[in-house]
Amino acid sequence: MDRLLSLLFLLLFILHLPRRSHQQHISSIDRAALLSIKRTLDDIPGSNFFSTWDFTAPDPCATFSGLTCSPDPYSSALRVTALQLGTGLSDSLGLLGSLSPHLSNLTELTQLVLFPGIVTGPIPPELGLLKNLRVISLTNNRLTGPIPQSLASLPNLHTLDVSYNQLTGSIPAELTELPQMKVLILASNQLTGELPSGWTQLLHLDLKMNGFAGRIPSNLPSTLRYLSLSKNRMWGPLNGLEKLSELVLLDISMNSFNGTIPSSLFRPSLNSMLLQRNKLSGAIPPGPADESYGPGSVIDLSHNFLTGELPATLVGVENLFLNNNHLIGKVPEEYVKRVFSGTTKTLYLQHNYITEFPMEEGLNLPDSVSLCLSYNCMVPPVGLSACPASAGGQLSRPAFQCAVFNNGTTMA
Ligand SMILES: *[C@@H]1O[C@H](CO)[C@@H](O)[C@H](O)[C@H]1NC(C)=O
Ligand SMILES: *[C@@H]1O[C@H](CO)[C@@H](O)[C@H](O)[C@H]1NC(C)=O
Ligand SMILES: *[C@@H]1O[C@H](CO)[C@@H](O)[C@H](O)[C@H]1NC(C)=O
């Protein structure tokens, strides 16, 4: 028993030995790769990320900032497994230069992060050789050119964030089908084309502020919790969103989507729904009667062509934007109560055809509430409207417009 124990201890000791030993150095391939990476990148004057990158020092893994190393299972050398270029501190200016293709010599790399700076040039297609890569984050720089097709062959890629660059071209075929991909953030580039038709089990898809065209793919993954397609050139009906039952945030604002809003989207678990500035029409469907929206909820349906009356089910929404539509009728009393109790923080109803906002005399609007009622088919209660400048100065809509809209008919 004793012998067994001491053998075990010896084994543990041996297993721990390389990690502790000062004999262990970075592999010569990784050292050469770091030297190449350093050659094409530099600190923006005032930033000092590279001040620790002294290649005369014996052990880069211990002294270079931004490196994480692990022992190579096949040799006694240390390999770079994570590389963070730049400090990511908010007061740091970041790096300039370009990304070296020699990054691909860091074959054990699982994470590559480039913090915000002004790095230019392409994303090296050679990154597609790093089969262990799980995370690539290169946001807020000035990278140009396409997203390399080679990235679509990284079997372990979990997160790709190349947002806020100047990338062009379309989404590479099969990138959205990678088996491990969960987070894909391509926001704010100059990407074009239609969205792919093959999708893996993504949790987070952010394509906002690009030039994507076409319809919403019918087979977006039902695992999605966050979906933003805001500010693109997409159009067509909202089909395909109904079955995304895990969504917490949906932002498809500022496109040209048309048709009606599926009633299944009105559920309190979908806490932020931004559909503003599209061409949506029809009535706002009643949501589920048994659940209600709560603190933190935002629904923005403004600047569409929605008709009918306000449904009772949106009553608990904390920030509700229904302005610039074709809504008619009387505002349900429950909305009015919530506004004066301060549980509704924003209620924008301006630029509709609403005929009544039923309230008792002498109530004061809490300071925290934004209520705007101007340019409807009524005279808004004196002193209550807290409108944005964009609402314009006119309190009421011209009477002849109101006659058409509140006469049992609505404009087609
Ligand atoms: C490093 O990468 C470059 C370009 O990919 C390649 O030409 C070179 O042979 C590599 N060096 C080593 C030591 O593997
Ligand atoms: C949506 O827009 C397309 C293209 O302009 C049009 O063909 C289609 O009829 C519209 N659908 C609805 C429901 O308005
Ligand atoms: C309703 O519409 C009809 C026909 O368009 C019109 O003659 C009538 O005056 C309208 N009624 C009201 C109350 O505006």
Average the pLDDT over 219-239 and give the result.
97
How many CB atoms within 10 Å of residue 149? 14
Rounded CA gap, 361 and 43, in Å?
A: 64
Output the pLDDT for position 108. Answer: 95
Please report, to the nearest 10 degrees, the dihedral formed by the alpha carbons of residues 320, 326, 328, 331 taken in order. Answer: 10
Q: Is residue 403 within 6 Å of ligand 3 at its C-beta?
A: yes
Output the pLDDT for position 23. Answer: 53
pTM of the predicted protein model: 0.89
Average the pLDDT over 73-95 and give the result.
88
Which tens digit of pLDDT belongs to each residue from 366-410? 889 999 999 999 988 876 778 888 888 889 999 888 886 655 544
- H/E segment holding residue 157: none
Q: Average model confidence (pLDDT) for the chain? A: 90
Instruction: Flag the least confident range among 31-45, 335-349, 383-397.
Output: 383-397
Instruction: Flag the least confident range among 101-110, 119-128, 287-296.
Output: 287-296
Q: Which residues in 361-379 are b (16+ Cβ under 10 Å) and which e?
A: eeeebeeebbbbbbbbbbe
CA 258 to ligand 2 center in whole angstroms: 6
Kindly tell me if the per-residue pLDDT of 242 is higher than 60: yes
Instruction: Flag the least confident range among 6-10, 198-202, 232-236, 391-395.
Output: 6-10
Rounded CA gap, 294 and 316, in Å?
A: 6
- Residue 238 C-alpha from the chain's centroid: 19
Going by alpha carbons, the residue nearest to atom 13 of ligand 2 is: 259
Q: Which ligand is nearest to the CA of 255?
A: 2
DSSP character for 51?
Answer: G
- Considering only residues 45 and 4, tell me which one the structure prediction assigns the higher pLDDT: 45
Output the pLDDT for position 2. Answer: 56
Q: Which CATH class is domain 261-412?
A: alpha beta
Pocket test for ligand 1, best of 105, 109, 127, 129 (most atoms within 8 A of CB): 105
Kindly tell me if the per-residue pLDDT of 53 is higher than 60: yes
Q: Which residues does a 6 A CB cutoff place in the pocket of ligand 1?
A: 29, 32, 101-102, 104-105, 126
Kindly tell me if the per-residue pLDDT of 143 is higher than 80: yes
Average the pLDDT over 199-226 and give the result.
97
Minimum-distance ligand 2 atom for the alpha carbon of 258: 1
Give the 3-state DSSP-derived string for the chain, with helices as H, strands as E and coil as C.
CHHHHHHHHHHHHHHHHHHHCCCCCECHHHHHHHHHHHHHEEECCCCCHHHHCCCCCCCHHHHCCCEEEEECCCCCCEEEEEEEECCCCCCCCCEEEECCHHHHHCCCCCEEEECCCEEEECCCHHHHHCCCCCEEECCCCEEEECCCHHHHHCCCCCEEECCCCEEEECCCCCHHHCCCCCEEECCCCEEEEECCCCCCCCCEEECCCCEEEECCCCCCCCCCCEEECCCCEEEECCCCCCCCCCCCEEECCCCEEEECCCHHHCCCCCCEEECCCCEEEEECCCCCCCCCCCCCCEEECCCCEEEECCCHHHCCCCEEECCCCEEEEECCHHHHHHHHHCCCCEEECCCCEEEECCCCCCCCCCCCCEEECCCECCCCCCCCCCCCHHHCCCCECCHHHHHHHCCCCCCC
